[in-house]
Amino acid sequence: MPVAAWCLLVLLGGAVLSVVYHTLKTGISPLPSSRRAREVMLSEIPNGFSGRIVEAGSGWGSLAVPMARRFPEAAVIGYELSSVPLFCSRLRRLGRCANLRLRRADFLAVSLADADLVVCYLFPGAMRALDAKLRRELRPGARVISNTFALPGWTPVRTHRLPDIFATPIYIYEFTVQSIS
- The helix or strand, by DSSP H or E, that contains position 93, with its residue range, turns out to be none
Q: How far is the CB of 39 from ligand SAM (least distance, A)?
A: 12
In which order are the strands placed within the sheet that holds 75-80? Answer: 100-104, 75-80, 52-56, 117-120, 143-147, 169-174, 158-161
Let me know if 34 is exposed, middle or buried by CB neighbors in 10 A (0-12, 13-18, 19+).
middle
Listing DSSP states for 135-160 in one string gives HHHPPTT-EEEEES-PPTTBPPSEEE
**Of the two residues 55 and 116, which places its CB atom closer to ligand SAM in the complex?**
55
Residue closer to ligand SAM (CB basis): 20 or 31: 31
Which residues form the interface with ligand SAM (CB under 6 A)? 22, 26, 28, 30-33, 55, 57-59, 62-63, 79-82, 85, 106-108, 121-122, 126, 147
Instruction: Closer to ligand SAM by CB, 75 or 77: give it.
Output: 77
Find out whether 61 and 78 touch, Cβ atoms under 8 Å.
yes
Using CB atoms, what's the residue nearest to ligand SAM?
57
Quote the least distance from Cβ 108 to ligand SAM, whole Å. 5
Cβ distance to ligand SAM smaller for residue 9 or 31:
31
Smallest gap from Cβ 57 to ligand SAM, in A, equals 2
Residue 134 beta carbon to ligand SAM: minimum distance, rounded to whole angstroms? 13
| CA 151 to chain centroid | 15
Amino acid, res. 29: S
Instruction: Determine the Cα–Cα distance for residues 46 and 92; give it in Å rounded to an integer.
Output: 24
Q: Which of 45, 82 has the CB closer to ligand SAM?
A: 82
The minimum distance between CB 58 and ligand SAM, in angstroms, equals 5
